[in-house]
Chain A
Amino acid sequence: MKDYAERNRALLHFVAVPTILLTAGLLGGLRIDAQTRQFVFIAPPLVTLVLAILLGSLFVRAGTIDLRHWLSVEQPALTNLSHLLTLLALFFATAQAFNSVLPETGLLHWMFCFFFLWTLWTNQFSTFDPRRLLRSIMVLFGTAFVLKHLFMSAFSAPDKGWLRTIVATFLQGISVDVPAFAPATGYISFFALAALCGGSPPDSTCSYGIRSGSD
């Protein structure tokens, strides 16, 4: 029984978590063109890498990621390598999650970037616990997701639904440059965010995900 538990834990730490995080990274930059229904791959812009670093430093500050457990001279090189790859996968997944919820171009892109930067920067200097941090991050991503994939996509939708009417009323007189993506893009983004959350669970009692595999 114990063998099974040990093996499953190892599979989770060293195979499942990096896979889930890399999947988040893969899906985060994927869009579906509204007209041609073709894939559009958008590499993470520089600002998303900055945001990912800020978020990563918040995780470290909050103790959600204890780097001494992740990378240590007392651990075998293979374990350190495995942990390093998982951390890189987490960084990539986070950058792509930002990429997924940020509008691609225009004023809205910079507005969203500003709000993310502001929130993450001010959090660098406040005291908090890991659960609260993860909750606030989820709210941040959730809000951006709703704004981009429900609110803004309704604006560029070809059919005149009630949501589009509301959005158009809100943004009357404002020129909004929103690239048209198929509704499937919203689903892909949702799964990317879900994969990121799955790869980095907030539960401190759970010893997988962004907690070290050697715990």
Chain B
Amino acid sequence: MQRKSIQIVGVIWTLVYASFIVWIYATEPRSFRDVATNTQVATGTYEINQEKFNSGLTLFRRDQFRAAREEWAAADSAQRDPRTQFYIAYSYYREGWGRTYYDRTLFTQGLAAVNRAINLDPNRQLVVDDPNLQMHKPAELKAELEQGLETSWSDLNPLKLFRQRK
């Protein structure tokens, strides 16, 4: 009887440990902290670092976009929070926006971030209620970024010099 119970424990333990190893190799954590974060994501207990998020927001409002992104990257290290990813995308948009040109590299990175935000919010319920922003939904931001990456004859329109950053 005892042998049988040890066998059962052994089988369950082996399956759990093997699953853990497969999970580790699938998620490829870079540090023990990543392991902890991935565990939180897997168990549904993941939360962003609100203090760092707010610090990033303050920097964003001062137009210090790179510093803001650093803070947000630290706040949402697993890139699992749609709101933070939306703000990261917005910071790429604002930094890459120019009256006469758009920075394609920054816009591409912004598009990647906004796509992450959209994927993390499949029901499209995310609305960022921030009066400092003129776009509040990821879809709006995505359209703006995509438009900026497209090349067309309308780019030569001189009236575009009077457009405003959103």
Task: List residues of A whose CB falls within 8 A of some B CB.
Answer: 3, 6-7, 10-11, 13-15, 18-19, 22, 25-26, 29, 36, 38-41, 43, 78-79, 81-82, 85-86, 88-89, 92
Instruction: Check B31 for interface membership: any CB of A closer than 8 A.
Output: yes
Identify whether the interface residues of A are mostly helix, strand, loop, or mixed.
Answer: helix
- A-B complex: 10 closest residue pairs judged by Cβ atoms: A14-B10, A38-B30, A18-B14, A10-B6, A15-B10, A85-B14, A10-B3, A41-B28, A26-B21, A14-B7
On chain A, the residues within 8 Å of B21 by CB distance are: 22, 25-26
> Which A residues lie within 8 Å of B29 (CB)?
39, 41
A11 and B31 CA atoms in complex are apart in Å by: 32
In the complex formed, the residue of B with least CB distance to A85 is: B14
Q: Verify if B13 is at the interface (C-beta below 8 Å from A).
A: yes
B45 CB-CB contact with A under 8 Å: no
Q: Is B18 an interface residue (CB 8 A)?
A: yes
Indicate with 1 or 0, residue by residue over B54-88, a CB within 8 angstroms of chain A CB atoms. Answer: 00000000000000000000000000000000000
- Chain A, Cβ-Cβ closest to B30: A38
Contact A10 B2 (CB under 8 A): yes
* A86 contact set on B, CB distance < 8 A: 14
> Is A43 within 8 A of B25, CB to CB?
yes
Q: Binary interface profile of B, 17-44, with partner A (CB < 8 Å = 1, else 0)?
A: 1100100110011110010000000000
CA distance A163 to B17 in the complex (A): 39
